[in-house]
Amino acid sequence: MENSAGGNVLAIKGMNCVVIGTDNAADGNLFRVPVHSRLYCGIEGPESHVSAVRKQMTIRVQQLSGQVTPEVYTQNLSSFLQVSPVPYQVDCIVAGLQPVTRRPYIATVDMLGIINYIDDFVAVGKLRPQLHVNCEALYKRNMKLDDVLETMGNTFFTNTDPEVVKEALVFIIRPCSTAN
């Protein structure tokens, strides 16, 4: 049986920000999308599937002309998974900011390419049910960045097996004064 590269991935919307994190960063399951400084993708699944999807999506993004919006990336990821002859066993979270409005964006794409747009938070991985319950208890709409980070940390580390979740890699996605 192949190792799971994905571990767990969690994304939470806040007021003018999105935070996305993973408890298994060593395998490259959470990455910034090339050519877009405010767009990340987290993938959960077998290591070879995560690697293959990441590679194919990097190629697809490089072939696109113009700015890759979160919607465009999500649609491309969905299309790739739908038409791929290989049934990749992955669950993906796309998180970022809209380029013009800077509104927070979270969507999931499952192994069949089905997109689900998220208004608050979402988790994928083996601990998804537990992470969802933990986050649901702590989440409030329009939280400030500090509160989102506290919620992320508490969600990953409260009531989870310390042998399973030892550390987390977290990316903060928010507008900045420079244009990217």
Residue 1, pLDDT > 50, answer no
Answer yes or no: pTM beyond 0.85. yes
Q: What is the pLDDT of residues 82-99, one digit of tens each?
A: 999 999 999 999 999 998
Q: What's the confidence (pLDDT) of residue 71?
A: 94
Structure-model confidence comparison of residues 151 and 156, the more confident one: 151
Q: What are phi and psi of 87, to 5 degrees?
A: -80, 85
How far is 157 from 167, CA to CA, in rounded Å? 8
Let me know if domain 8-173 sits in CATH 3.40.630.30.
no
Mean pLDDT of all residues in the chain? 86
Q: What's the confidence (pLDDT) of residue 15?
A: 94
Residue 30, pLDDT > 80, answer no
Cα distances (angstroms) measured from residue 78 to each of 90, 112, 114, 166, 174: 11, 8, 6, 31, 25
Q: What's the confidence (pLDDT) of residue 7?
A: 79
How far is 6 from 49, CA to CA, in rounded Å? 10
**How confident is residue 22, by pLDDT bands cut at 50, 70 and 90?**
confident
Sign of the alpha-carbon dihedral angle for 9, 160, 127, 135: negative
Q: What's the confidence (pLDDT) of residue 180?
A: 39
Contacts of 65 (CB under 8 A, 6+ apart): none
Q: What is the pLDDT of residues 97-115, one digit of tens each?
A: 998 899 999 999 999 999 9
Q: What is the pLDDT of residues 63-78, one digit of tens each?
A: 887 778 999 999 999 9
How far is 136 from 134, CA to CA, in rounded Å? 6
When pLDDT is averaged across residues 23-44 and rounded to a whole number, the result is 75
Determine how many CB atoms are found less than 10 A away from the CB of residue 73.
24
Q: What are phi and psi of 158, to 5 degrees?
A: -90, 125
Q: What is the pLDDT of residues 121-143, one digit of tens each?
A: 999 988 899 899 999 999 999 99
How far is 36 from 132, CA to CA, in rounded Å? 28
